[in-house]
Amino acid sequence: DVKVTQSSRYLVKRTGEKVFLECVQDMDHENMFWYRQDPGLGLRLIYFSYDVKMKEKGDIPEGYSVSREKKERFSLILESASTNQTSMYLCASRGTGNDEQYFGPGTRLTVT
Amino acid sequence: GEDVEQSLFLSVREGDSSVINCTYTDSSSTYLYWYKQEPGAGLQLLTYIFSNMDMKQDQRLTVLLNKKDKHLSLRIADTQTGDSAIYFCAESHDYKLSFGAGTTVTVRA
């Protein structure tokens, strides 16, 4: 059974804190993605990675960074959390070609 | 960037057919997808269609693609309460997907 797991389902942080969201996949996928989901806006791509140590900016990278030191793990980092980063964060992974993109269950982050 | 648009809400009676519509702008998309998100869960792929196809049927699901108008639809036959969810249309570009805002489908008895 394929799996994408995220370290937390719910997270509450204070403004200015550094926040780490972790994602792990067990499918040996090359490509991994971080999205944020907001009502009425759908999913917006923050960053993606197509290989270890490789990353590319998505549509809304400002205020975020990522790390991919191992193939199975892709971390999203909020250097200094702000209230406008309160959102649902979804991680996904995908193999090559038209392999299905598999999603994790999401982390609902609240920044107060 | 790519734009994918879909209506935000759909209410349907149990047993009726649901039709969710989507328009996209990137004519170079090779695949178009429908994802389903149940409450509290991530997205799950429902079906996809290759851009050179007009129609794809999979049990209760029918996908229609009008490439000229860049219009995609998902029809769910005999809609059940378990079909209540948010449905996302997505188009592929390189290895990225662009998603619509999602259509919340509510099935009423």
Mean pLDDT, residues A62-88 taken together: 97
Give the pairing type, strands A107-111 and A10-13. Answer: parallel
Per-residue pLDDT tens for B5-35?
Answer: 998 999 999 999 999 999 998 878 788 999 9
A50's tokens: 């197509």
Residue of B42, B95, B102 with shortest CB distance to A42:
B102
On chain B, the residues whose CB falls within 8 A of the CB of A36 are: none
Using alpha carbons, select from B100, B25, B109 the residue that is nearest to residue B67. B25
Q: Which residue has 């090559």 as its token pair?
A: A96
Radius of gyration of chain A (CA): 13
In A, minimum Cα distance to B50 occurs at A98
B39's tokens: 């409450």
* Closest CA of chain B from A66, distance in Å: 17
A95's tokens: 């193999």
Mean pLDDT, residues A4-8 taken together: 93
Q: Which residue has 């050179």 as its token pair?
A: B52
Mean pLDDT, residues A86-99 taken together: 87
On chain B, the residues whose CB falls within 8 A of the CB of A5 are: none
- With 0-12 / 13-18 / 19 or more C-beta atoms within 10 angstroms meaning exposed / middle / buried, residue B47 is middle
Question: So what's the pLDDT on residue A83?
Answer: 97
Give the pairing type, strands B96-99 and B85-93. Answer: antiparallel
Q: Which residues contact A97 (CB under 8 A, 6 or more apart)?
A: none
pLDDT of A1 over the 70 cut: no
pLDDT of B1 over the 50 cut: no
Residue of A42, A48, A104 with shortest CB distance to B101:
A42
Query: Does the distance separating the beta carbons of A42 and B100 come in below 8 Å?
Result: yes
